[in-house]
Amino acid sequence: MNGLDQVLRDWIANHGTLAEETLRLLIAAVAGGLVGLERELRGRQAGFRTNLLVCLGSALVMIVSTHLADGPWMQGPGFQITVDPGRIAYGVMTGVGFLGAGAILKNRGDVRGLTTAAALWCVAAIGLSAGLGLYSLSFVSALLVLLALWALDVLENLLPRRATRVITIRTRWSAGCVRELVDFIQTQNVKVFGVTFRRPDSEHVDISADIAFTRSHRYYELERKFQEDPRYDLVALERS
């Protein structure tokens, strides 16, 4: 990678400052585009264009901040005011954090978009790196992000993961109705590790069960089972 840096710097030396800054923007666009392409292929909202623009914009801000830091903006006898480019980079990362928060969705207890939000944050950091002229570091970082998004996803899917929920069911009161419900849940390969119940009226009972299951048994599958069974009314299904 040091050879790549030297080749690029030799080319820049022959073409001036504008060429150097253009190269930084192009590298940022390529790095962000590669990460964005992976997100696009997975059908994520923050895909190719979003990641490319975030990385490109971060590089541009970093380039501008280095120009701002070249000299004092105000000076006088015994003092001078300068611009700290690190503060501008900090502002970029904070702003992208808010953008990433917009990519996170919560639907029926299931949180999605955390990986996309993290990828956006990494892409912004790559853009700042490219804006500083750290070409090799930018490319290596982009490759590592792609490795985390693509290759490690295969490994993650092989690992067993446990999720927990609290499910509340309403059914008609009868002797043994709680035991019957627990048995019904366990037939779906879902573990029950806690049960409480209350009587809303003389004919019904609301049973709340703390359940745990692996990722292969999504909670909405259990919800569908209850909806299909006329004995039960699903009251709530939420995170524990």
pLDDT in tens, 23-44: 889 999 999 999 988 888 877 7
Q: Which residues pair with 170 in a beta bridge?
A: 206, 233
Q: What is the pLDDT of residue 166?
A: 84
pLDDT at 231 over 80: yes
Please tell us whether the domain made up of 162-239 is placed in CATH 3.30.70.260.
yes
pLDDT at 126 over 90: yes
Give, in order, the Cα–Cα distances in Å from 112 to each of 44, 97, 115.
Answer: 10, 16, 8
Compare 145 and 41 and report the one with higher pLDDT: 145
For 82-125, the pLDDT digits (tens) are 667 777 788 888 888 877 777 776 555 556 778 888 888 999 99
pLDDT at 240 over 60: no
Domain boundaries, the chain: 2-158, 162-239
Q: What is the pLDDT of residue 216?
A: 55
For 163-187, the pLDDT digits (tens) are 777 888 888 898 888 898 888 888 8
Separation between Cα atoms, residue 85 and residue 70, nearest integer Å: 10
Helices (H), the chain: 2-13, 17-41, 48-68, 85-102, 114-131, 135-146, 152-158, 177-186, 219-228
- Per DSSP, the three-state class of 168 is strand
Least confident of 98-102, 105-109, 149-153, 198-202: 105-109
In whole angstroms, what separates CA 126 from the centre of its chain?
16
Give, in order, the Cα–Cα distances in Å from 39 to each of 121, 123, 126.
Answer: 14, 12, 16
pLDDT at 218 over 70: no
